[in-house]
């Protein structure tokens, strides 16, 4: 069976000496390009798509590929010629039955990890996926800690001997000063608003 497949694909497939690639057990009518794809990412792992499903999935996969000649746009969104070609290639590969990860890996072979708009999970990339989650946990821990601490200090007895609510300093805005002094005069009966015990002006 293997040698039969080899004979059939022999004219189309290229097996360079340096690469001990496996001969994919692919459909016999693969074009040169898709057989190259199969050599790189393995045989198609999924069902060939067509019609509306194909359109929808093409857009979906295209949205994960970066248009190499644009600034940050995805292949699905970009009108550039290169992006249109890439979109066509994505469509052909989906129609041949390759799945999303295979297609992304194929483009990554030519263009590098740069072409994937969503960082794949490898190496230090884990940090960008889990960083926000760790941030959430750390932040939540801090907030809960702050709330616990605040709530527990409420239980403490107020300082003995302090009958005045709040600090006894004058406000920063000089305009408010006469009002505060007048209020203290009216409320506490302090002449001129000055506390009889403390020497604050």
Q: Give the pair of three-digit tokens for residue 66.
A: 């970066």
Nearest-CA neighbor of 39 among 65, 6, 68, 7?
6
Q: How far is the CB of 135 from another protein (least distance, A)?
A: 5
Please select the residue that binds another protein; options are 49, 98, 115, 184, rule is CB under 8 A. Answer: 115
Toward another protein, which CB reaches closer, 47 or 85? 85
69 Cα distance to chain centroid: 23
Regarding 103 and contact with another protein (CB under 8 A), the answer is no
Instruction: Give the span between the Cα atoms of 106 and 122, in whole angstroms.
Output: 17
Please list every residue from 119 through 138 that binds another protein, using CB under 8 A: 119, 123-125, 127-128, 131-132, 135-136
Regarding 6 and contact with another protein (CB under 8 A), the answer is no
Please select the residue that binds another protein; options are 6, 176, 188, 195, rule is CB under 8 A. Answer: 176
3-state secondary structure of 98: coil
Please select the residue that binds another protein; options are 9, 30, 38, 66, rule is CB under 8 A. Answer: 66
Q: Give the pair of three-digit tokens for residue 181.
A: 């002094």
Please select the residue that binds another protein; options are 53, 109, 168, 188, rule is CB under 8 A. Answer: 109
Regarding 86 and contact with another protein (CB under 8 A), the answer is yes
Instruction: Give the span between the Cα atoms of 81 and 15, in whole angstroms.
Output: 31
Torsion angle in degrees (nearest 10) through CA of 74, 31, 43, 93: 20
Residues 138, 143, 146, 151: is their CA dihedral positive or negative? negative
Q: How far is the CB of 176 from another protein (least distance, A)?
A: 6
Q: How far is the CB of 69 from another protein (least distance, A)?
A: 6
Please select the residue that binds another protein; options are 53, 147, 168, 188, rule is CB under 8 A. Answer: 147
Residue ranges of E strands in the chain = none
Instruction: Give the span between the Cα atoms of 77 and 82, in whole angstroms.
Output: 12
Q: How far is the CB of 78 from another protein (least distance, A)?
A: 7
Please select the residue that binds another protein; options are 5, 8, 36, 194, rule is CB under 8 A. Answer: 36
Regarding 42 and contact with another protein (CB under 8 A), the answer is no
């Amino acid at each position: 069976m293997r040698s039969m497949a080899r004979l059939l694909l022999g004219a189309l497939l290229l097996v360079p000496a340096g690469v001990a690639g496996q001969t994919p057990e692919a459909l016999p009518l693969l074009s040169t390009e898709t057989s190259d794809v199969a050599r790189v990412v393995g045989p198609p792992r999924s069902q060939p798509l067509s019609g509306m499903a194909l359109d929808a999935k093409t857009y979906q996969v295209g949205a994960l590929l970066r248009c190499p000649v644009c600034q940050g746009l995805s292949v699905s969104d970009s009108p550039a010629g290169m992006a249109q070609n890439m979109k066509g290639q994505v469509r052909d590969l989906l129609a041949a039955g390759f799945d999303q990860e295979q297609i992304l890996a194929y483009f990554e072979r030519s263009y590098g990890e740069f072409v994937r708009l969503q960082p794949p999970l490898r190496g230090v990339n884990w940090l960008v996926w889990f960083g926000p989650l760790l941030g959430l946990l750390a932040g939540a821990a801090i907030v809960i800690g702050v709330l616990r601490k605040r709530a527990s200090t409420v239980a403490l007895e107020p300082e003995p001997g302090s009958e005045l609510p709040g600090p006894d300093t004058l406000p920063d805005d000089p305009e408010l000063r006469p009002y505060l002094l007048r209020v203290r005069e009216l409320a506490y009966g302090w002449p001129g608003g000055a506390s009889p015990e403390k020497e604050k002006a």
